[in-house]
Amino acid sequence: MQADATAPLSPAPLKPTCHLLFKTGPCADSWRNYEQAIQQWNQQYVQHQEQAATAPLQQQIADDQQKITTLQQQMQTAATAALQARADAHMQGLEQGASVGVGASLVLFLLLVSVKKLMSDFSAERQNSVDTEKPHNYLGGGNAGGANSVPNRPRC
């Protein structure tokens, strides 16, 4: 069809020069052939005009389809990049969260070890001071039968 649009249209057939007097004979055959050729030429002319009118539109359609394909590829690339960025951000968040968790656990562990060490040092100092002092019997349990003694009561 594209070859027909670029090819020039053939000239219209020439009219017969004879006058049609009878329905048969060589002149009638010439007129019938002429009318048939004119119909074919008219069909070719209409097709040529349609093709000439639609050729720019067909070119525009082809260009638009190419643009659509390019835009679809760009959208696919952008969507893939967005998904990759989302996955990367997720992984980065997990890594940062794990780092913060490990760091916080390490700080907590060091804090607990420090407190335990301080408490053990404090207990050792207190133990030394308790050993040197005279023990106080506030309940009077060591003073059997004394004035301050409390009878043994059952605990509830």
Q: Which residue has the tokens 């260009």?
A: 63
pLDDT at residue 66, rounded to an integer: 96
Contact yes or no for 20/31 (Cβ under 8 A): yes
pLDDT at residue 99, rounded to an integer: 95
pLDDT in tens, 3-44: 444 577 788 888 888 877 777 888 888 889 999 999 999 999
Higher-confidence position of 45 and 18: 45
Q: Is the pLDDT of residue 88 over 60?
A: yes
Burial of 149 (0-12, 13-18, 19+ CB in 10 A): middle
pLDDT in tens, 91-102: 999 999 999 999
pLDDT in tens, 100-151: 999 999 999 999 999 888 888 777 666 666 555 555 555 655 555 555 555 5
pLDDT category of residue 54 using cuts at 50, 70 and 90: confident
Contact yes or no for 143/149 (Cβ under 8 A): yes
pLDDT category of residue 71 using cuts at 50, 70 and 90: very high
* Across 70-77, average pLDDT: 96
**Model-wide pTM > 0.85:** no
Report d(CA 34, CA 42) in Å as an integer: 12
pLDDT at residue 118, rounded to an integer: 85
Mean of per-residue pLDDT scores for the chain:
81
pLDDT at residue 125, rounded to an integer: 67
Query: In one letter, which amino acid is 2?
Result: Q
Contact yes or no for 27/21 (Cβ under 8 A): yes
Ramachandran angles phi, psi of 19, nearest 5°:
-100, 135
Residue from 6, 138, 25, 102 nearest 110 by CA:
102
